[in-house]
Amino acid sequence: MKKVHPNAGFTGGEPSNSAETPKEEAVLTVWKKSLLLSCDGFTVFDGKGDLVFRVDNYMQGNKGSILLMDANGKPLLTIRRKKMSLGLVENWLVYEGEETTAGPRFSVKKSVNILNTASLAYVTGGDGNDRSNKVVFEIEGSYPQRRCTVLDDNRRSAAEIRRKEGGGGVAFGTDIFRLVVRPDSIRTDFAMALVILLDKMF
């Protein structure tokens, strides 16, 4: 079996820059697997093989919320599906930390633009209700094929989802892939939240 990460020790130390915009390109390995045997989720490693993010409560269906944590289990972001009436577009809200009493940091709406099939989702500030809130990121590509680009409002690449290759050019399956975050573009935890949402949407 190909090795997903080089380091087995993942409980010590404070994760670096997990909730900051990286100053250098960050290349993360995302594994669609929880560290806990009885849970679904995600495990995310940095380029050194150290654990940076984990999701151990990946919800099934449309109820509850998803908690993105750092390596030590500290809550970073809470992701909740927005209640919607019949016919409305799928919409998700992302909150700082574990509390959702304060307003959401951003809203992610699934794209239903039949004229632009490459567009997967749009990210706006706040809860997405204010029409004055412009789109800050657009996600294009194919999540099932693990080929996506997060574009900023100037259509520059802020992050990418790519297939991961092992030794000799042999590709991993779709449960193991790369998340590349560009310098000075988007927080790494926000980028990981977008991965989780794409996984729920597609």
Could you report the per-residue pLDDT of 139-191, keeping only the tens digit for each? 999 999 999 999 999 999 999 999 998 777 676 889 999 999 999 999 999 99
Domain at 179, CATH number = 2.40.160.200
This prediction's pTM: 0.86
User: Is the residue at 5 inside a domain?
Assistant: no
Nearest 5 degrees, angle CA 68-CA 195-CA 110? 115
Highest mean pLDDT among 7-21, 28-42, 98-112, 181-195: 181-195
| CA distance between the termini of the chain | 27
CB 77, CB 96: distance < 8 Å: yes
User: Is the residue at 30 inside a domain?
Assistant: yes
Please state, in angstroms and as integers, the Cα–Cα distance from residue 98 to each residue in 21, 43, 95, 146, 186, following that order: 20, 18, 8, 28, 20
- Residue 188 is predicted with a pLDDT of 97
Q: Which domain holds residue 100?
A: 26-201
- Residue 117 is predicted with a pLDDT of 80
Give residue-wise pLDDT tens across range 73-119.
999 999 999 876 555 678 999 999 987 788 999 999 999 877 778 89
User: Is the residue at 4 inside a domain?
Assistant: no
Number of domains comprising the chain: 1
